[in-house]
Structure formats: C-alpha cells, structure tokens
Amino acid sequence: MEQRVVMVVGAGQMGAGIARVTAGAGYTVILHDVDDNIVGNGISRIEQSLSSQVQKEKISIDEKQKILSLIKGSTSIDDAGCAEMVIEAVFEEYDLKARIFSVLDEICPRETFFATNTSSIQITRLASTVKRSDRFIGIHFFNPPHIMRLVEIIPGLKTSRETIGKALLFVEKIKKESVMVKDVPGFLVNRINAALRLEAYNCLMEGVARLEDIDKALKLALGHPMGPFELADFVGLDVGLHVLQTLHNGYKDPKWRPSPLLEKLVWSGDLGCKTGKGWYDYTSGQKIPRKDVQF
Ligand SMILES: NC(=O)c1ccc[n+]([C@@H]2O[C@H](COP(=O)([O-])OP(=O)(O)OC[C@H]3O[C@@H](n4cnc5c(N)ncnc54)[C@H](O)[C@@H]3O)[C@@H](O)[C@H]2O)c1
C-alpha cells in the first residue's frame, strides 16, 4: 500500500501534537524544525505523552511504538518534496510563515497542499504568498491536539473545493470533528472565547467578583472545564493579548480593546503557567489567586 506522507513544519507545542495525531492515523510524518535539539525535544514530548497514555491503558505499547516509528525528525525543509500535505505550525509571525511557504512552494510538487495552523493570521493573506492559493487552507487545531476534538477548517478566498474536501478527509482520518469557518479575524472559537475572557476581565476590574470566583462560577454554572483566568494562564497571557490585538485591529471595533489589566501583566513578564505567574501564582507549587491584580 502506498505510504502517505505529511510534513509538519515546527516541532513546538502544536507541531509535535499535530505530528502525533497524524501519525496516529497511519501517516508517515516528517517533523521539521530548525535544529536537531528542537526536533529531538518535540519527539521526546510525543514519547512522554504516549507513555502516559499507555500507563492509563488508553493505548497499547505496540500502538505507541507504531506511532513513534511513523515520525521522522528533519532539519531539512527539502524533505517536504515527498509530502502530499504540509502543515505549518511555526511561531505566530506573518513574515516567518510567508518566508517558509514561499520556500515550500518551490520545493513541493504542484499537487501538494498546504495547511496552516495559525490562530490569528488570515488565511487569504498567507495564501497570497504562494502560487497555489487554491491548494492552501487553514486547519486550526486546539491545544493539546491529541485531547481537543475540534478542528476549524478555514478556506481562503481562492481555496478550491478539492482542497476543502482533502482537508475534511484528513480531519476525519485523524478522528477529529470539524467546523467550517469563514476567514475572519479570530476565526470562530477564539473570537467567542476572547469575548468571554474580555468580559471576565471587565468584571474583575469593576470588582464584580474575585477572580477565583469568576472561574468557579463559569465552571459550575456553565460547565466549562476551566475558568477564563485558569484557561488564560494555561494558554499564555501573551498569546491571549495577541488574539485581542488581532481582533481589535481586524474589526476596528473598540469592543475588542485589550484589557489594560492584561496588558500590565504581559508587560511585567507574568505570562501564566509557563512563567510561574499570571492571574494565579504557581511558584509555591500550588495555584494561588493573585491579590495584586484585583480589588
Ligand atoms: N499554543 C496554542 O495554544 C495554539 C493553539 C492553536 C494554534 N496555535 C498556533 O500554532 C502555531 C505554533 O504555535 P506553538 O504554540 O506550537 O508555538 P511554539 O513556540 O511552541 O513552536 C513554534 C516552533 O516553530 C519553530 N520554528 C521557528 N522558525 C522556524 C523555521 N524557520 N522553520 C521551522 N520551524 C521553525 C520553533 O523552533 C518552534 O519549535 C502558531 O501559529 C500558533 O498561533 C497555537
């Protein structure tokens, strides 16, 4: 049987997760990043997360080995030449993504189709960097990709029906659910989630409730698995601020103006779980609500 090959560009948090779910569906995955260390770290993270699933008896040791055997690390972008599809998951910087896609456009055969996992750059803008904008699409995963079941499919203005069909088929193969979303700033989930988070920040600033109580309320009343402040810390406050700036710039509507409280935390370097402090303080090993960010 013909072996189907997908290249994932970027072996960070999302790229490694996407490589894992893609290999889990039987594709050979080339996981590409700029140096051997980063690629090696990405593959180790996949290995650790598969081992934890083996421990929980969610997958067998054989399945773990099979998935790992399908993932090949690469530091040469030329390896994309044998892929039927390339999924890009590098830093959220337009110039970087544009440069990578124009290189890929030269390397890959015309039939190869390109997907981006961008959370905030519009697909039509990125598609304009390649000659195959008909074979370019947004496939937006959520973090962590092996747990979150949804993927947003975002066609650009020139994306062909065939490409949409291929993206839908791919998502079905990796056993995710998809929703088709128009190419607008923030797409769908981030836009709605940003509105909810902004309102939570407003309530905190107005002293409507304490931050831990806002989290508690949304978990217990609306069934959210994490409160808006907990989720913001998990995702990274810098990432959250970037989403709000994108919405604010994209819609030119003051309702998306980033919260001054959030800006202050990002300026101070408190970016959430990854720096030990965000809306909560994690430095003692416990999750303590910050007193200095509320009334
Ligand atoms: N983190 C999330 O919650 C999340 C969710 C959905 C989508 N996204 C999007 O996914 C993308 C990646 O985000 P992430 O959180 O995985 O970032 P990350 O910082 O964990 O990983 C980015 C990776 O890109 C690599 N990279 C940079 N330049 C490169 C180049 N020239 N060639 C190859 N690799 C290069 C970096 O070395 C790094 O490993 C972004 O577009 C982000 O907006 C992130």
Verify whether residue 249 is a known catalytic residue: no
How far is 266 from 269, CA to CA, in rounded Å?
A: 5
φ/ψ of 272, rounded to 5, equals 110, -155
- pLDDT digit string, tens, across residues 127-174: 999 999 999 999 999 989 999 999 999 999 999 999 999 999 999 999
Verify whether residue 190 is a known catalytic residue: yes
Q: pLDDT band at 295, cuts 50/70/90? A: low
When pLDDT is averaged across residues 180-203 and rounded to a whole number, the result is 95
DSSP secondary structure letter of residue 217 = H
| Residue nearest atom 30 in ligand 1 by C-alpha distance | 34
When pLDDT is averaged across residues 234-255 and rounded to a whole number, the result is 93
Asked whether 20 and 51 are in contact (CB, 8 A), the reply is no
Verify whether residue 119 is a known catalytic residue: yes
Residues near 183 by beta carbon (within 8 Å), at least 6 away in sequence? 122, 123, 124, 138, 154, 155, 156, 157
Q: Which pLDDT value is given to residue 78?
A: 98
Q: Which pLDDT value is given to residue 120?
A: 86
Q: Which pLDDT value is given to residue 3?
A: 66
Ligand 1 centroid to Cα of residue 13, in Å, is 7
Q: Is 96 in the pocket of ligand 1 (CB under 6 A)?
A: yes
| Nearest Cα residue to 108 out of 19, 221, 211, 30 | 30
How far is 77 from 53, CA to CA, in rounded Å?
A: 31
| Residue nearest atom 24 in ligand 1 by C-alpha distance | 90
Ligand 1 centroid to Cα of residue 93, in Å, is 9
Verify whether residue 193 is a known catalytic residue: no
- pLDDT digit string, tens, across residues 276-292: 999 999 999 999 999 99
φ/ψ of 243, rounded to 5, equals -65, -45
Tokens at residue 284, please? 């003692």
pLDDT over 80 at 199, yes or no? yes
When pLDDT is averaged across residues 89-96 and rounded to a whole number, the result is 94
- pLDDT digit string, tens, across residues 200-222: 999 999 999 999 999 999 999 99
| Residue 171: C-alpha distances to residues 15, 38, 53, 64, 104 (Å) | 15, 26, 21, 21, 22
pLDDT over 90 at 37, yes or no? yes
When pLDDT is averaged across residues 22-49 and rounded to a whole number, the result is 98
Place of tokens 């994306």: 159
Q: pLDDT band at 249, cuts 50/70/90? A: very high
Residue range(s) in the chain whose domain bears CATH number 1.10.1040.10: 189-289
Catalytic residue among 74, 120, 140, 212, which? Answer: 140
Q: Is 152 in the pocket of ligand 1 (CB under 6 A)?
A: no
Beta bridge partners of 7: 30, 86
Q: Which pLDDT value is given to residue 294?
A: 75
Residues near 177 by beta carbon (within 8 Å), at least 6 away in sequence? 149, 150, 151, 171
Ligand 1 centroid to Cα of residue 16, in Å, is 9
Give CA 26 to chain center in angstroms: 22
| Residue 248: C-alpha distances to residues 184, 191, 203, 258, 289 (Å) | 12, 11, 20, 8, 28
Residue range(s) in the chain whose domain bears CATH number 3.40.50.720: 5-180
Ligand 1 centroid to Cα of residue 88, in Å, is 8
> Is the CATH number of domain 5-180 3.40.50.720?
yes
Beta bridge partners of 116: 88, 138
Strand order in the sheet with 28-32: 71-74, 28-32, 5-9, 85-88, 113-116, 136-141, 150-155, 177-180
pLDDT over 90 at 85, yes or no? yes
pLDDT over 70 at 31, yes or no? yes
Q: Which pLDDT value is given to residue 293?
A: 87
Q: pLDDT band at 98, cuts 50/70/90? A: very high
Decide which of 3.40.190.10, 3.40.449.10, 1.10.1040.10, 2.60.120.460 is the CATH code for 189-289.
1.10.1040.10
| Residue 272: C-alpha distances to residues 63, 86, 147, 168, 196 (Å) | 34, 31, 21, 34, 18
pLDDT over 60 at 88, yes or no? yes
| Residue 251: C-alpha distances to residues 54, 235, 263, 291 (Å) | 45, 23, 19, 34
Q: Is 118 in the pocket of ligand 1 (CB under 6 A)?
A: yes
How far is 40 from 206, CA to CA, in rounded Å?
A: 47
Residues near 289 by beta carbon (within 8 Å), at least 6 away in sequence? 210, 211, 212, 279, 280, 281
Reported as half-sphere exposure (CB side, CA atoms, 13 A), residue 164 has a value of 13
